[in-house]
Amino acid sequence: MIDEVMDRFYRIEVPLPDSTLKTLNSYVIKADDRNLIIDTGFNRPVCFEAMQEGIRTLDIDLAATDFLITHMHADHAGLVTRLATETSTVYFSRVEAQVYHGASIRQSMFDYAGINGFPGDELLKALNNHPGFKYSPETVPELTLIGDNDVIEIGDYGFRCLSTPGHTQGHICLYEADKKVLLSGDHILFDITPHIESWSYQVNALKDYMDSLDKVYDLPVNIVLPGHRSFFPDLKGRIDELKKHHKDRANEVIDVIGKETKNAYEIAGGMTWDIDCETWDLFPIVQKWFATGEAIAHLRFLESEGRVHRNTDEENITFST
């Protein structure tokens, strides 16, 4: 499905099979000399076919097209290597690139999940089924690195890059001041809550996310164009809802811990999730992974506020209030 968002500015809805996200919004801006595609979909045949059909319908010459990836997740970056040509510029976060090129990221996540209580016999299954690893680009293309306040000009549009860490460390939103448009990637979604997870206690992902929400709160915006699902006009109202959601979730974590000492996997199992499963044991393994990562993000946030205590030994991490 293709929508014309505004003059020479389009959305291609890319299906994301087996994902609760349902679709990705890939944005295409046409100009006389160069085109720009923002985000691409999983590296899967169904996504590739949808992008190819959209590109044909819009009469896009990929040899005259550049790409901007809002963040490293495979549903946004997966197809960039297959779509970009030798003459394409691929814009990518300077912060994110440091992680993207890290060969040990899979092993570090594996080790970290283990000391946070994720059962060893489920770890390999979780990572092998993780869409971020299964559907990522086969190779990393040559990247043109961008950061906060860099400007990307394409046709009648001038986008200011806004560093908005939280969903990922190097997530970038794009703001068009004259037209009062915010391309929010996965930083702010309307129909669903962006996933905030953490696999390192060196990063306080939820605090970063809350700070990034504050950063864009006062931008004059008429429409928000997110990475998934519906467009929406009320930026401030949605940010208020998201901040309340995470504060409520942090309080729920406190309640789950109670007077006991628990690891993150156990805490995730006691939290409420919008998944059609009667018990934690019945959760799909990948959903257990996402839930544990989100629990860790909230625990790290609560620790920074002095509301929980992290207990660490050589093999295990637990939490108490």
Helices (H), 174-234: 205-217
Other Cβ atoms closer than 10 A to 275: 14
Dihedral, 234, 238, 239, 243 alpha carbons, nearest 10: 160
Q: Which long-range contacts (CB under 8 A, 24 or more apart) does 61-64 make?
A: 61/35, 62/88, 63/87, 63/88, 64/33, 64/34, 64/35
* pLDDT value at residue 104: 61
pLDDT in tens, the chain (321 residues): 899 999 999 999 999 998 888 999 999 999 999 999 999 999 999 999 999 999 999 999 999 999 999 999 999 999 999 999 999 999 999 998 877 655 467 778 888 899 999 998 888 788 777 887 788 888 888 999 999 999 999 999 999 999 999 999 999 999 999 999 999 999 999 989 999 999 888 899 999 999 999 999 999 999 999 999 999 999 999 999 999 999 999 999 999 999 999 999 999 999 999 888 889 999 998 899 999 999 999 999 999 999 999 998 767 899 999
Provide the pLDDT for residue 200: 82
Q: Any idea where the domains of the chain sit in the sequence?
A: 2-249
Q: Alpha helix locations (H) across 231-306?
A: 235-257, 264-270, 285-304
What is the distance in angstroms between the CA of the first residue and the CA of the last residue of the chain?
A: 49
Cα–Cα distance list, 106 to 83, 186, 250 (Å) = 25, 22, 27
Token digits for 165? Answer: 């860490």
The CATH architecture assigned to 2-249 reads 4-Layer Sandwich (3.60)
> Are 303 and 310 a contacting pair, CB within 8 Å?
yes
For 266, the token pair is 């156990």
Which amino acid is present at 119? P
